[in-house]
């Protein structure tokens, strides 16, 4: 049997050796492969491995230019016959050598038929099975009756007992011998079995111990390889030739004519396994072994004389042809005597299905030893080994190790997917799609200490080569990428490497760190959302990277109950593998260098390598692409030679897949000069349940809002040797600042009492509260952080809805410092409010299309889809659905249909139905996210930032990346801001030079309007707005949508809680006397808001019932939290004013826009009542830094029906300002002026009076103002919210609407109209002679001008001052004595009321009456007013967004309510 087997194998080998596989240097790779594989046994396949790449999607292809001159899609194809190339390959004889048989000329019998004398060691045929050692009892006794210890003990006892019985019975020695023989035989049988069992146990224990701690020999495998290698080596060489020659043909440099393999063999000596070490304590389905191998073909020590004689060493001959046409020369490069030895770890992953081995991972545990002989010149005979050149051999080995290291040197592994290889699928075929979303990075550090901020980008790599990269974000340590990369995955064994690099235009980009993600985790959790991992560099964290990965495996066919595979799941989305095999008869039979462009929907997505000097190019080039709609997909090919078009064709994907299944793969080329030109194509389809991936965008819709109420902090860490910190709290979402409080200056125990809203997009997001110490010139310093556990707040019910967690109970947490310690506490409350799930525009269009198709085609009608459409329509039209929707806010991660498979099925939560939201329904939902899609921008200045300010927030709610050019076209740039009250909200867009808006000088353009108006006009519709600025108008194109968030606001969050308070201080009665005799006092009143003095009245001499008749206005940031107190004092000349009592002024009970009289009984004294009147007008009061340098800014003033006049007193450290509005009474240096009578006459003439409106509502009224002429006078019958909205949206409160696309569009006239005001002085009356030069200064909200100094008042006659002013504004006029050495001395003050209409301004006579030293004198003035044009108006009003605010100066000054970053 053994002889016949060897002889038959030898005959087969000899037959194989007799057929020489020869082909010339110019043979194509396909010809070589087909010829070399002729003798390869059937069933073996040659494949090549490719690594994962960034997947080409239809969306990416759409951005490419369209290929012109393409024919319409064809459906005609033919089956492939025996091509001319094949026939040529069979007929040609050539000189190429493949395999050891052709190289050496010997046959397999020379290695198999070995004389027994050549074999070391003989097998002893004797005693093979041990039959001579068996006893008679073993053939008859059952196995359970002998062999154990008690059997042996029983035999010994039975022997003793038997001898005693024989002796007692008088038996002789013969009986004892008989009994001893029987029992001895039994004992021998039993003890042999006991020893054999013990020997087996010891052998197993020793083998196991040796397995764990020692190596074992693999001589049996070496013996097997010795005989198997002579069969397998020709096949292996043929596989290598077919693959490598293809690569060489397509990678030939331009200066070479060709590059081919002329000879390749691995020799006759097989690799040898020196020893094997196994790790038995691995996972149940994993086998891990260490193999030490050696491939040393030159070692002949273990060979017989016949084997040494026929031995063939490994040899590779690379033929390089240089020159052109007939002047060519072939230069052979010889590599021979190759040897290699190393230690490799083999990891085998098992599975229950055939072939039971799933994946084999190979990794060198140490650098292998490699040896070779390289002869680049001279060929086989005269070649010189370059290894003798000093240093060259080491350099070559370094290149080899550098190439193999990232591939398979530990810890890297080289993976072989055995399951995929044996299934016949290409090794580089995709097993799924990974959608990687790079959200952001935080704290990335520049590797250059002095290099400034880095320009980071993220590079994605698989198995050592790049698959995708993000765009570069300039000059930032916290880049926001928000980019989606679709990566083709061929195996899950390779980790995904995300490198963060610093871009540089000159030098090479530097790696700042990397993150390694194990793709095996996707098998257990296909949705890995918002992973935050440290960016590591040299084992040190260099920042943090936040990303998400979604895994979409290829859908596998489920198995039938009988084990046979079922039908492949149908899906309109998936991966198509488009292969261009070869072309024939192109370019009229001329040899050219051609390549093919692969087309997806007429857009080029890939190119094949260029094949030189052939008219029948063979590429076998494949490209896998992501297709979201298989029915509409069209593939195509265009052949080119440089810029010449050689032919093209297109075909629908469905037709190509059907033809491939029918083995029809040849197509006629169109638009070609050759009539018989053909191309061979094929395609395979892998369904993937992509769902919404086809229209994926970087923006992730919020699932809800996090409401964080930051009350106060206590006992913060002291980082300064001298002084106190200036703390504020930042809310960080995945390392990015999403909100912050204002700064409280010089305080260890700050009180903020602010509410911040941040968007929550995923329950796994990292939320941190970080307390920072503001630094004016350096980077802010951290005072500690607090981690927020979202899992306790964000929860889903079984129906898929996110549940509301409205827990507003204050909690206290410790700040954690970087060194593991804790210092300071924060008092805060936090709650989660889910958002409603709303259809996007694309989803609505898809639903409408499906509904239309069901209407036109009843066959497509579905009860489920019809019911869903019915629900959508009801949700959009029936208000009763709102209550149902507000019970919970649904959030569906991916709404695609569920396709289950046997091995890749995933559990997906059922999503509740979404709702339709029309523009007319926006007013129903007051709270929510305003989502803005930025499309395009034309900026008047480059290098700026686009910022969005909302309501009362001091800091921008959104700030874009730096705009590098004047024209920007955004791609998936989406922002969202949370709006508390949509009806009352105000929004402002700004273009700033600085990321941290620090001064008005940096504002390059801005515009403001009602948020609701903006939303309605841009709702799912692009609009263009203008942002006028100092460098010209910028334009911005965007569209918006609305995501409602059902939310119950606290009273302190509403705009009704903040605004401007006008207080009319009328009089006081029954005050106590503090002068001598107790019959009189010199009373004055001081008003204190939140600990800061906001207004001090005039001092009225010698009275207990003073008549003040003064008014002031103050900005109130919060009526609920306001501490408003009036203190009455008795003025004393020597200082130390005596208190006359105090009273708290309640603000929380005020009704907005309604004048309310008030009597305040003074506390702490026997008697005293203060009489006054209050009017509160809601307006957004911008939050400001609190401290001695703080300023107040009021966004909305000038409410219709109760106009606010200019001139606001700035109060340091308070979020409010105050201004006098009606009194002309002044106090001199030592009290009241001596001209008391004149002042009282003026006061009686000009003081505000209490007016009664037509509906009976009382207002504080100035006689100079025509109340009936003001639009929007408040009425008590109007709901408060409507009245507030009307007041804020009135023309007086809006500097401009940026909904007009034309920057020169007009601004609403009437009250609040801006223009150029001219003030011309007439002849003065009643002024005394002057001893010094004086000047006149006029100050308003924007008006600021003064005259030259003169010694005579008559010199001011016909002097004109000009400036920007607003109709209805009150100007402050000051008469000052000029001083050369010190500051000017104020001699008198006056106010000038500008009429509200131009007609009144030109017809009225205006006279200025000064108080103080010049009381009783007057100065007539003539006013002129010229309205500004629209462009000038917008520029002038941009810094006064909705009217006047607070300013600085003396008792009354103007305010510029711009949002200044005060820290």
pLDDT at 446 over 50: yes
pLDDT at 954 over 90: no
pLDDT at 834 over 90: yes
Q: What digits encode the pLDDT tens for the residues 72-90?
A: 777 666 665 433 333 333 3
CA distance 867 to 855: 14
Paired tokens of 540? 């040190």
Q: What's CA 868's distance to the chain center, in Å?
A: 33
Give the highest mean pLDDT range of 67-71, 674-678, 897-901, 1427-1431. 674-678
Helix segments in 559-665, DSSP class H: 653-661
Mean pLDDT of the chain: 74
Give the C-alpha separation, 1443 to 435, whole Å. Answer: 49
- Asked whether residue 1209 carries a pLDDT value surpassing 80, the answer given is no
Segment 515-519 shows an average pLDDT of 91
Which are the contacts of 1243, defined by CB distance < 8 A and separation ≥ 6?
1109, 1223, 1224, 1225
d(CA 795, CA 805): 9
pLDDT of residue 1159: 92
What DSSP assignment string belongs to 1296-1344? --TT-S-TTPPPP-STT-EEEEEEEE---BSPPPPSS-EEEEEE-SS-E
Query: What pLDDT is recorded for position 79?
Result: 62
839 pLDDT higher than 60: yes
Which pLDDT band holds residue 507 (cuts at 50, 70, 90)? confident
pLDDT tens-digit map of 391-421: 888 888 888 888 888 888 998 888 888 877 7
The reported pLDDT for the residue numbered 123 is: 40
- Residue showing tokens 């069901």: 854
What number is the average pLDDT over the span 691-713? 76
**Which of 866-880, 1025-1039, 1222-1236 is predicted least confidently?**
1222-1236
Mean pLDDT of 301-313: 76
Q: Which residues of 687-714 are buried (b: 16+ CB within 10 A; e: fewer)?
A: bbbbbbbbebbbbbbbbbbbbbbbbbbe
Q: According to the model, what pLDDT value does residue 309 have? A: 77
Highest mean pLDDT among 130-144, 183-197, 421-435, 703-717: 703-717
pLDDT of residue 231: 85
Residue 1248 has pLDDT above 90, yes or no: no
* Residue 1107 backbone dihedrals phi, psi, to 5 degrees: -110, 105
Whether pLDDT at 627 is above 70: yes
Kindly report the number of other CB atoms within 10 A of residue 1's CB atom: 5
Average pLDDT over residues 1281-1300: 40
Q: pTM value? A: 0.52
pLDDT at 818 over 80: no
In angstroms, the CA 1414 to CA 1410 distance is 6
Q: If DSSP codes are grouped into helix, strand and coil, which group holds residue 1074? A: coil
pLDDT of 1190 strictly over 50: no
Q: Which of 523-537, 968-982, 1144-1158, 1239-1253 is the least confident region?
A: 1239-1253
Which of 1140-1149, 1243-1252, 1259-1268, 1281-1290 has the highest average model confidence (pLDDT)? 1140-1149
- pLDDT: which is higher, 238 or 576: 576
**CA–CA separation, 596 vs 640, rounded Å?**
6
Per-residue pLDDT tens over the stretch 323-343: 765 667 778 888 888 889 999
- Is residue 899 scored above 50 in pLDDT? no
pLDDT confidence of residue 175: 84
In tens, the pLDDT along 1314-1351 reads 788 888 988 888 888 777 888 888 888 778 888 888 88
DSSP 1271: T
Choice among 141-145, 776-780, 790-794, 1393-1397 with the minimum mean pLDDT: 141-145
Query: Which among 164-173, 228-237, 826-835, 1237-1246 has the top mean pLDDT?
Result: 826-835
What pLDDT, on the 0 to 100 scale, is given for residue 49? Answer: 40
Query: pLDDT confidence of 904, banded at 50, 70, 90?
Result: very low
Contacts of residue 1165, Cβ cutoff 8 Å, sequence gap at least 6: 1072, 1139, 1140, 1141
- CA–CA gap between residue 655 and residue 939 (Å, rounded): 49
Could you tell me what percent of the chain has a pLDDT over 90?
16
State residue 880's pLDDT score: 35
pLDDT for 122 equals 40
Q: What is the pLDDT of residues 341-377, one digit of tens each?
A: 999 999 999 988 777 888 899 999 999 999 888 888 7
Give, as one character, the DSSP assignment of residue 764. T
pLDDT for residue 565: 72
Query: % helix / strand / coil in the chain, to the nearest 5?
Result: 25, 35, 40
Q: Is the pLDDT of residue 543 over 70?
A: yes
Q: Do the bridges between strand 801-803 and strand 795-796 make them parallel or antiparallel, or are there none, so unpaired?
A: antiparallel
Q: Please compute, for residue 341, the number of CA atoms within 13 A of its CA located in the half-sphere on the CB side.
A: 11
Which run of H or E residues covers position 854?
Answer: helix 841-856
Q: Is 74 exposed, middle or buried (0-12, 13-18, 19+ CB in 10 A)?
A: middle
| DSSP state letters, 1097-1138 | -PPPPS-SS-EEEEEEEEEES-TTT--EEEEEEE--TTS-PE
Q: What is the pLDDT of residue 287?
A: 92
Among 97-101, 399-403, 454-458, 1024-1028, where is mean pLDDT lowest?
97-101
Q: Give the model confidence (pLDDT) of 1005-1016 as tens digits.
A: 888 888 999 999
The pair of three-digit structure tokens given for residue 1185, joined into one six-digit string: 């830094």
pLDDT tens-digit map of 608-626: 988 877 778 888 888 888 8
* Residue 1012 neighbours by CB under 8 Å, 6+ apart: 922, 923, 982, 983, 985
Q: Does 907 have pLDDT greater than 60?
A: no
Closest C-alpha among 1125, 1047, 1038, 991 to residue 833: 1047
Could you tell me the pLDDT band of residue 116, with boundaries at 50, 70 and 90? very low
Q: Which of 52-56, 411-415, 740-744, 1297-1301 has the lowest mean pLDDT?
A: 1297-1301
Q: How confident is the model at residue 770 (pLDDT cuts 50, 70, 90)?
A: very high
Confidence of residue 1126 (pLDDT cuts 50, 70, 90): very high
Residue 224: phi and psi, rounded to 5, are -65, -45
The pLDDT score that the predictor gives to residue 1385 is 80
Q: Please name which of 754, 748, 755, 753 lies closest in space to residue 726, comparing C-alpha atoms.
A: 748
Binned at pLDDT 50, 70 and 90, residue 690 comes out as confident
pLDDT(1197) > 60? no
**Which range scores top for mean pLDDT: 636-645, 702-711, 1247-1256?**
702-711
Tell me the three state secondary structure of residue 972: strand
Q: Which of 956, 957, 947, 937 is nearest to 1033 (CA)?
A: 937
What DSSP letter does each residue of 864-908 carry, written as one string?
HHHHHHHHHHHHHH-THHHHHHHT-EE--S--PPP---SSS----
pLDDT at position 693 over 80: no
Decide if pLDDT at 1046 tops 70: yes
């Amino acid at each position: 049997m053994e002889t016949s087997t060897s002889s038959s194998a030898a005959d087969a080998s000899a037959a194989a050796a007799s057929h020489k596989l020869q082909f010339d240097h110019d043979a194509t790779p396909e010809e070589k492969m087909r010829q070399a594989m002729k003798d390869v046994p059937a069933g073996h396949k040659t494949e090549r491995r490719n690594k994962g790449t960034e997947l080409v999607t239809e969306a990416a292809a759409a951005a490419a230019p369209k290929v012109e001159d393409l024919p319409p899609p064809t459906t005609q194809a033919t089956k492939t016959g025996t091509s001319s190339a094949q026939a040529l390959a069979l007929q040609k004889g050539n000189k190429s050598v493949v395999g050891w048989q052709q190289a050496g000329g010997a046959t397999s019998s020379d290695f198999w038929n070995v004389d027994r004398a050549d074999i070391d060691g003989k097998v002893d045929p004797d005693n093979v099975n041990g039959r001579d050692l068996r006893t008679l009892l073993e053939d008859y006794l059952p196995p359970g009756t002998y062999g154990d210890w008690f059997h042996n003990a029983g035999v010994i006892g039975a022997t003793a007992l038997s001898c005693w019985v024989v002796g007692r019975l008088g038996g002789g020695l013969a009986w004892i011998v008989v009994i001893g023989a029987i029992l001895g035989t039994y004992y021998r049988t039993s003890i042999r079995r006991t020893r054999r069992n013990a020997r087996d146990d010891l052998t197993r224990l020793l083998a196991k111990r040796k397995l764990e701690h020692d190596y074992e020999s693999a001589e049996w495998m070496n013996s097997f390889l010795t005989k198997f290698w002579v069969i397998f080596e020709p096949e292996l060489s043929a596989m290598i030739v077919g693959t490598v020659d293809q690569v060489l043909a397509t990678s030939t440099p331009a200066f070479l004519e060709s590059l081919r393999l002329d000879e390749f063999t691995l020799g006759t000596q097989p690799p040898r396994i020196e020893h094997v070490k196994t790790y038995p304590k691995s996972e149940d389905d994993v086998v891990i072994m260490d193999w030490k191998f050696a491939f040393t073909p030159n070692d002949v020590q273990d060979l017989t004389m016949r084997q040494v004689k026929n031995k063939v060493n490994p040899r590779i001959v690379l033929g390089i042809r240089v020159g052109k046409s007939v002047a060519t020369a072939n230069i052979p490069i010889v590599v021979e005597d190759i040897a290699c030895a190393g230690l490799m770890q083999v990891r085998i992953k098992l599975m229950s299905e055939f072939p039971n081995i799933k994946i084999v991972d190979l990794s060198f545990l140490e650098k292998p030893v490699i040896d070779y002989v390289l002869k680049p010149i001279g060929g086989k005979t005269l070649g010189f080994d370059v290894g003798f050149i000093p240093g060259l051999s080491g350099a070559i080995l370094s290149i080899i190790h550098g190439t193999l290291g990232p591939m398979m040197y530990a810890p890297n592994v080289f993976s072989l997917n055995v399951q995929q290889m044996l299934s016949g699928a290409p090794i580089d075929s995709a097993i799924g799609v990974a959608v990687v979303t790079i959200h952001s990075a935080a704290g990335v550090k520049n590797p250059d200490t002095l290099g400034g901020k880095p320009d980071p980008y993220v590079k994605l790599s698989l198995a050592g080569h790049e698959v995708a990269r993000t765009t570069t974000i300039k000059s930032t340590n916290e880049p926001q990428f928000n980019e989606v990369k679709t990566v083709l995955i061929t195996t899950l064994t390779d980790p995904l490497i995300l490198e963060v690099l610093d871009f540089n235009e000159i030098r090479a980009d530097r790696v700042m760190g990397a993150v390694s993600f194990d793709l095996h985790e996707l098998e257990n959790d296909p949705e890995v959302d918002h992973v935050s991992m440290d960016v590591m560099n040299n084992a040190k964290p260099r920042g943090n990277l936040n990303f998400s990965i979604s895994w979409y495996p290829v859908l596998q066919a489920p198995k039938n109950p009988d084990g046979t595979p079922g039908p492949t799941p149908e899906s309109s989305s998936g991966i198509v593998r488009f292969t261009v095999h070869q072309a024939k008869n192109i370019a009229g039979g001329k040899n050219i260098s051609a390549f093919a462009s692969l087309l997806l929907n007429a857009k080029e997505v890939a190119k094949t390598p260029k094949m030189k000097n052939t008219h029948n190019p063979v590429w076998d080039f494949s490209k896998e692409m992501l297709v979201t709609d298989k029915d509409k997909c069209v593939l195509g090919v265009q052949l080119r030679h440089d810029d010449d078009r050689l032919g093209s064709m297109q075909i629908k994907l469905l037709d190509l897949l059907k033809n491939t299944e029918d083995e029809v793969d040849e197509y006629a080329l169109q638009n070609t000069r050759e009539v018989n030109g053909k191309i061979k194509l094929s395609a395979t389809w892998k369904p993937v349940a992509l769902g919404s991936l086809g229209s994926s965008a970087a923006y992730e819709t919020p699932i809800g809002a996090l409401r964080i109420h930051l009350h106060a902090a206590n006992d913060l860490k002291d980082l300064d040797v001298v002084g106190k910190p200036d703390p504020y709290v930042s809310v960080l979402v995945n390392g990015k600042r999403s909100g912050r409080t204002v700064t409280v200056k010089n305080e260890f125990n700050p009180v903020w009492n602010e509410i911040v809203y941040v968007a929550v997009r995923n329950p796994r997001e990292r939320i941190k509260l970080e307390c920072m110490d503001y630094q004016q010139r350096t980077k802010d310093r951290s005072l500690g952080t607090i981690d927020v556990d979202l899992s306790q707040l964000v929860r889903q019910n079984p129906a898929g809805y996110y549940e509301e967690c409205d827990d507003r109970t204050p909690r206290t947490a410790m700040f954690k410092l970087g060194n593991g310690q804790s210092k300071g506490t924060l008092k805060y409350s936090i709650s989660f409010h889910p958002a409603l799930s709303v259809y996007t525009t694309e989803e609505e269009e898809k639903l409408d299309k499906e509904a239309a198709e069901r209407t036109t085609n009843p066959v497509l009608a579905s009860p489920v889809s019809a019911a869903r459409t019915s629900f959508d329509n009801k949700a959009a039209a029936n208000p009763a659905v709102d209550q149902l929707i507000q019970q919970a806010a649904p959030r569906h991660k991916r709404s695609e249909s569920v396709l289950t498979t046997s091995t890749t099925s995933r559990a997906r939560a059922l999503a509740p139905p979404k709702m339709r939201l029309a523009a007319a329904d926006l007013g129903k939902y007051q709270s929510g996210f305003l989502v803005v899609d930025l499309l395009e921008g034309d900026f008047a200045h480059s290098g700026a930032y686009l910022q969005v300010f909302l309501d009362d927030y001091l800091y921008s709610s959104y700030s874009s990346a730096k705009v590098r050019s004047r024209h920007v076209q955004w791609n998936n740039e989406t922002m969202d801001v949370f709006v508390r009250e949509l009806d009352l909200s105000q929004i402002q867009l700004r273009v700033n030079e600085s990321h941290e808006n620090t001064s008005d000088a940096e504002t390059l353009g801005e515009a403001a309007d009602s948020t609701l108006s903006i939303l309605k006009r841009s709702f799912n519709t692009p609009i263009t707005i203008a942002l006028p600025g100092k460098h010209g108008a910028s334009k911005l194109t965007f569209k918006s949508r609305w995501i409602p968030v059902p939310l119950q606001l606290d009273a302190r969050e509403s705009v009704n809680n903040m605004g401007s308070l006008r207080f009319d201080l009328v009089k006081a009665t029954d005050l106590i006397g503090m002068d001598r005799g107790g019959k009189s006092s010199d009373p004055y009143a001081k008003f204190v808001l939140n600990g800061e003095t906001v207004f001090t009245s005039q001092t009225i001499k010698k009275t207990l019932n003073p008549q003040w008749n003064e008014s002031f206005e103050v900005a109130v940031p919060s009526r609920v939290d306001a501490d408003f107190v009036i203190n009455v004092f008795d003025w004393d000349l020597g200082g130390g004013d005596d208190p006359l009592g105090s009273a708290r002024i309640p603000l929380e009970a005020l009704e907005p826009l309604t004048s309310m009289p008030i009597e305040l009984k003074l506390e702490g004294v026997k008697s005293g009542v203060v009489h006054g009147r209050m009017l509160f007008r809601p307006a957004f009061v911008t939050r400001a830094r609190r401290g001695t340098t703080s300023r107040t800014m009021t966004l909305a003033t000038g409410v219709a029906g109760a106009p606010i006049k200019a001139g606001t007193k700035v109060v340091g450290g308070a979020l409010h300002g105050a201004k006098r509005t009606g009194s002309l009474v002044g106090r001199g240096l030592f009290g009241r002026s001596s001209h008391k009578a004149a002042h009282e006459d003026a006061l009686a003439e000009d003081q505000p009076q209490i007016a009664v409106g037509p509906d009976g509502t009382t207002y504080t009224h100035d006689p100079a103002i025509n109340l009936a002429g003001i639009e929007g006078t408040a009425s008590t019958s109007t709901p408060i919210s409507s009245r507030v909205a009307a007041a804020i949206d009135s023309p007086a409160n809006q500097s401009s609407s940026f909904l007009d696309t034309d920057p020169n569009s007009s601004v609403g006239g009437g009250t609040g109209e801006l223009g150029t005001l001219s003030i011309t002085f007439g002849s003065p009356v009643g002024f005394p002679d002057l001893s010094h030069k004086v000047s006149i200064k006029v100050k308003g909200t924007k008006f600021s001008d003064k005259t030259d100094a003169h010694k005579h008042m008559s010199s001011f006659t016909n002097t004109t001052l000009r400036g920007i002013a607003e109709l209805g504004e009150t100007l402050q006029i000051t008469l000052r004595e000029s001083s050369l050495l010190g500051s000017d001395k104020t001699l008198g003050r006056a106010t000038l009321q500008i009429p509200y209409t131009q007609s009144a301004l030109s017809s009225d006579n205006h006279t200025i009456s000064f108080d103080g030293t010049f009381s009783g004198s007057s100065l007539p003035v003539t006013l002129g007013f010229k309205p500004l044009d629209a462009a000038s108006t917008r520029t002038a009003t941009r810094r006064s967004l909705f009217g006047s605010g607070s300013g600085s100066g003396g008792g009354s000054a103007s305010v510029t309510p711009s949002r200044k970053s005060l820290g």
